């Protein structure tokens, strides 16, 4: 079963609690939470207080994507806020093996993300350690960007490597994904799909989720 992870970066923040409740009652599997620091990416999103405040509205898996420098400094705090999966970028951590093990020491899942220009082979040695690989299908920092076509090859590469190294790994794709290309992403090998604008557009969250889920399952 392919999992859908709506990104609340595209939510209406004046109605965030209400929209989280809608996600809770929908067919969404994860709630994707993009944390940006204005350093690693040219944008600032939200941090601990917002994540902690919305945790009470849903039992869905919190898929926390850290687009921040030196993420190891903040892992424990994100765990306390309710993260179920923490994703760190390969590009942001000099001691990524250590940080992945640190995340897992809290009893939650650990994931590694790759920017479009970062080769998959950079994470070959830790594929057996992580629970999920996130392939960025846009350059991180903003919602609503155009899907990068060559990212499909990267998804295929992770899928192929995982056959012998970690056959149960989750492969997540994030950026520019909607009803028009979600099937291609899944066919390439992704089993977790992040969608932001495609879920929250037109204030029709449940209908959009049903459309996306219907395209892949």
DSSP states of 64-91? EEEESSSGGGGHHHHHHHT-SEEEEEGG
What sign does the dihedral 64-68-72-131 (CA atoms) show? Answer: positive
Query: Is 29 annotated in the active site?
Result: no
117 is in an annotated binding site: no
143 is in an annotated binding site: yes
The answer on whether 141 is annotated among ligand-binding residues is: yes
The annotation status of 197 as a binding-site residue, yes or no, is yes
Has 7 been labeled as part of a binding site?
Answer: yes
Q: Nearest CA to 148 among 122, 116, 171?
A: 116
**Do the beta carbons of residue 22 and residue 6 sit within 8 Å?**
no
174 is in an annotated binding site: yes
The answer to whether the beta carbons of residues 113 and 96 sit under 8 Å apart is no
Verify whether residue 202 is a known catalytic residue. Answer: no
180 known member of a binding site: no
Q: Is 89 annotated as a binding residue?
A: no
- The catalytic position among 29, 37, 131, 174 is 174
- Which entry of 34, 37, 93, 131 is annotated as an active-site residue? 34
Place of tokens 């690693």: 40
Which parts are annotated binding residues? 7, 32, 34, 65, 141-144, 174-176, 196-197
Q: Which residue numbers belong to the known binding site for a divalent metal cation? A: 32, 34, 65, 174
**Which residues are annotated as catalytic?**
34, 174
- Positions at the binding site for substrate: 7, 65, 141-144, 174-176, 196-197
């Amino acid at each position: 079963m392919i999992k859908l992870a709506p990104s609340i970066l595209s939510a209406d923040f004046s109605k965030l609690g209400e929209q989280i409740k809608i996600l809770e009652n929908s067919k969404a599997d994860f709630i994707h939470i993009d944390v940006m620091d204005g350093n690693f990416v040219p944008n600032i999103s939200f941090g601990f207080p917002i994540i902690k405040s919305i945790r009470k509205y849903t039992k869905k898996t919190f898929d926390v994507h850290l687009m921040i420098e030196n993420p190891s400094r903040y892992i424990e705090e994100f765990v306390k806020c309710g993260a179920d999966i923490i994703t760190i970028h390969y590009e942001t951590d000099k001691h990524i093996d250590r940080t992945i093990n640190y995340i897992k020491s809290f009893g939650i899942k650990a994931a590694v993300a790759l920017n479009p220009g970062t080769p998959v082979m950079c994470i070959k040695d830790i594929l057996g350690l992580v629970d999920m690989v996130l392939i960025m299908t846009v350059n991180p920092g903003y919602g609503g960007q155009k899907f990068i076509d060559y990212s499909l090859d990267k998804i295929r590469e992770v899928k192929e490597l995982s056959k012998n190294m970690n056959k149960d790994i989750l492969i997540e794709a994030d950026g520019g994904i909607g009803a028009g290309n979600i099937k291609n992403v899944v066919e390439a090998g992704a089993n977790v799909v992040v969608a932001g604008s495609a879920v929250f557009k037109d204030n029709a969250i449940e209908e959009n989720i049903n459309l996306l889920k219907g395209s892949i399952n």
